[in-house]
Amino acid sequence: MKKENSSSVPDSEASPSRRFGGAVKRTMGFVWIIIAPVIIFFLISGAINNIGNGSKDINKPIPWIIIITIFTPIAAGLMVFGYYAIKGEYDKN
């Protein structure tokens, strides 16, 4: 037997809290898409400003290469997560 899905209510008939939750998810999706490239920009500009200025470890290129290499895929994942949030993939069906 096929079980009926009780949550297949259109958005116009959904409860206000459910519509609000979807709006928050979509808004945060835009925020994540905007924040991800900004984070990468600040990491790269921080690396450019700090490399070669002094004798501390933060002024050497190797830690910056490691930091940028680790955080770039994380930022790309934030962008993908934001894209799916905007599309409504995380809404309950």
Is residue 74 in a domain?
yes
pLDDT digits (tens, 9 = 90+) for 22-47: 888 899 999 999 999 999 999 999 98
**Average pLDDT, integer, range 77-83:** 94
Is residue 11 in a domain?
no
Host domain of residue 58 = 33-93
- Read off the tokens for 64: 């910056």
pLDDT digits (tens, 9 = 90+) for 52-75: 887 787 788 898 999 999 999 999
Is residue 19 in a domain?
no
Is residue 26 in a domain?
no
CB atoms within 10 A of CB 85: 22
Count the domains in the chain.
1
pLDDT score of 73:
95
pLDDT score of 10:
57
DSSP of 20-65, one letter per residue? HHHHHHHHHHHHHHHHHHHHHHHHHHHHHHHTTSSSSGGGSHHHHH
3-state secondary structure (DSSP) of residue 85: helix
The interaxial angle of helices 61-87 and 16-50, nearest 10 deg, is 160
pLDDT score of 80:
95
Is residue 87 in a domain?
yes
pLDDT score of 89:
86
Is residue 22 in a domain?
no
Would you say 36 and 82 are in contact if contact means Cβ atoms under 8 Å apart? yes
